[in-house]
Structure 1
């Protein structure tokens, strides 16, 4: 049981590292001028973000169900629900950049030399900045949950 708990914890943390790295890559690429924007790299980072988010949900669910602390620790812990709420907010925010990036990819296929409008690039950069800010809050909530959760 301890080995399973450790494995799930490690996978959960690695998935969060992947998610954070993918967001930082997106944030960095969106700082470039639109004409220099590397759309394929941006799309790969967004796909990695999606995979990481999926892994976080699956492994997190497995941790709740099979982890050493048990479901009661999580389901009756207000910090857990706050953390989950922030994760949901980050996930909902991430839908906007994903949709825009897919639109840009479609336009780039139809119009070689397509350059995304500066206003759209700037808007996506602000959204990804907000996601990173909320992600920092999520890490604070995770640490709080681990230290001040149920006895």
Structure 2
């Protein structure tokens, strides 16, 4: 019982950290005009990546690790499928910003000036990711309250 509670708490806290991090990174990318803006963007990106790992690990443990209702329940739960669809979209959208930020980090380490012209595009991607993260929270809270086809809805 205690482990289920702790996993749920860590999972929910990770959503808060993820939201704060993606909003901070998006704001930094939107305002990015020089390499002086990069330390804050890199810091926010680290938070975004770390919270994503925590979300994925704790979510997988809860859904498929025998700590909650079990995989058969989740696989047939419509809101879980919405949540996983949003996660897949977030991860697909993350490919371009992640690759750019890796290139920027390497350029800064080499003492080069990275090409920051893509920053506005990555900020737009971040706005979509923020929306999808909110969709995940809405789906999760609906599941927690028994809303869905299996529970009969409300």
* TM above 0.5: yes
C-alpha change, 1:12 and 1:81, in structure 2 (3 Å) is same
Aligned pair count reads 148
Contact 2:74–2:80, Cα closer than 8 Å, also in 1:
yes
Residues 115-130 of structure 1: pairs in structure 2 closer than 5 A: 116-117=115-116, 119-130=117-128
Distance in 2, matches of 1:22 and 1:37, equals 19
What residue in structure 1 maps to residue 24 of structure 2?
A: 25
In the superposition, the TM-score normalised over structure 2's length comes to 0.83
Deviating runs (4+, > 6 A) in structure 1? none
SS in 2 for 1:34: coil
Superposition deviation, residue 37 in structure 1: 4.6
Superposition deviation, residue 12 in structure 1: 0.6
Residues 1-151 of structure 1: pairs in structure 2 closer than 5 A: 2-35=1-34, 37-64=36-63, 65-112=65-112, 114=113, 116-117=115-116, 119-146=117-144, 147-149=146-148, 150-151=150-151
C-alpha change, 1:134 and 1:37, in structure 2 (3 Å) is farther
Deviation string 1:17-41 (CA, Å, 9 cap, x unpaired) is 1111110110121122412652122
Q: Give ranges in structure 2 of 5+ residues lacking alignment.
A: none
Contact 1:34–1:115, Cα closer than 8 Å, also in 2:
no
Distance in 2, matches of 1:122 and 1:37, equals 16
In the superposition, the TM-score normalised over structure 1's length comes to 0.85
Q: Give ranges in structure 1 of 5+ residues lacking alignment.
A: none
Distance in 2, matches of 1:3 and 1:99, equals 39
Where is the helix percentage greater, Structure 1 or Structure 2? 1
